[in-house]
Amino acid sequence: MKKLNFRRRQIMKLIRGKNLSYIPASHEDSKNPQVLKKVLLTYKDLVKGNVQMINWAKLPKGKKFLAHYHEDMQEIFIIMSGKIKVIIDEEERIMEKGDAVVVPFKSIHTMENVSSENAEYLVVGISTGKNGKTVQANYE
């Protein structure tokens, strides 16, 4: 694997779902809403580009995916179940159901399931033009 030097780029943006309040959806009557939402991200948080992929992923208990980065793809991970340790450019955080994180492109990242059950998450990739080319990396 290719060894990389870490350079500070954009920083990890971590959103704690449990700290967000529900608000009426924009198409609802604000005095009597039928559906409520928590705003995780807006267009200001995302790179301008094309949606490269939307995946529902499963990370079995005790497993970790290979450290890698994308040359031109920002990834957004939204945790649906389980507890995950995410490492982005040597910065570590624990994420749980309802949390989201934005991984800037060219940021080395990996995730490890640290719960006693399978973890599931949604991944959205936004590419700025090179189709999100993936490069494996390591933390040695």
Residue 15 included in any domain: no
| pLDDT per position as a tens digit, 68-116 | 999 999 999 999 999 999 999 989 999 999 999 999 989 999 999 999 9
pTM for the model: 0.84
Residue 132 exposed, middle or buried by CB count within 10 Å (0-12, 13-18, 19+): buried
- Using the predicted structure, report yes or no on whether residue 5 has a pLDDT greater than 70: no
Helix, strand or coil for residue 42? coil
Give the number of domains in the chain: 1
Q: Which domain holds residue 104?
A: 22-136
- pLDDT tens by residue, 104-127: 989 999 999 999 999 999 999 999
Q: Which residues pair with 113 in a beta bridge?
A: 84
CATH for 59: 2.60.120.10
